[in-house]
Amino acid sequence: MKTDVVVLAGGVTDCPGGPIPTADLKFAHGVANWSLRDLVTTELRRVPEVGKIVLVGKGQPKSHLYTWVRRRGSFAANLRRGLASTTTPAVLVVGVDLPFIKTTAVTQFLEEALKTGADLCYGIVSAGKSDELYPSWPKTVCQLKEGSF
């Protein structure tokens, strides 16, 4: 069964030259600099279980990888706009700021989340593992009774 994906790409990041849309940030990927939008949607497209990819954000980039929905209003309004463009019973929602997203991680998360039958599943990674894998990447850490995530 396929799962559609909504990629929320409406944020802005402060950079030395001034604020730019987070989706337009460039990362070295092999020999080329790719935007976060391209990195995330390309990796998601490699996941066999992923159906339609809906990208909600600024501008109007065109790509065969996703369906574009223009960002308008609040976070909740944009999430609703993205969800309205999906067609599957289950939907994966991700932010565009995931430059290290991997096909295997998405596949595993979808398998585990769908098995639960829950209405909502949220993936978290321990702060220690995140620091180990991506030491220089800024993170938001939350303290739970099971540890820091």
* Neighbour-count burial of 17, counting CB atoms closer than 10 A to its CB (0-12 exposed, 13-18 middle, 19+ buried): exposed
DSSP label at residue 141: -
Ordered alpha helix ranges (H), the chain: 36-45, 75-84, 103-116, 127-133
**Looking at the predicted structure, is the pLDDT value of residue 27 above 70?**
no
* Lowest-pLDDT range of 20-24, 122-126, 131-135: 20-24
> Of the given ranges (57-61, 83-87, 99-103, 106-110), which has the lowest mean pLDDT?
57-61
Is the predicted pLDDT of residue 16 greater than 90, yes or no?
no
- Please identify which residue in the block is written with the tokens 């944020």: 11
Q: How much is the average pLDDT of 10-14? A: 68
Band (94; pLDDT cuts 50, 70, 90)? very high
Position 141 confidence tier, pLDDT thresholds 50, 70, 90: confident
CA distance 87 to 135: 38
The arithmetic mean of pLDDT across residues 60-71, rounded, is 84
| Measured distance CA(9)–CA(23) in Å, rounded | 6
* For range 93-117, the mean pLDDT: 89
| Mean pLDDT of the 27-50 span | 80
Contact yes or no for 107/47 (Cβ under 8 A): yes
pTM: 0.80
pLDDT band at 33 (very low <50, low <70, confident <90, very high): confident
Residue showing tokens 């950079």: 15
Neighbours of 19 (CB within 10 A): 10
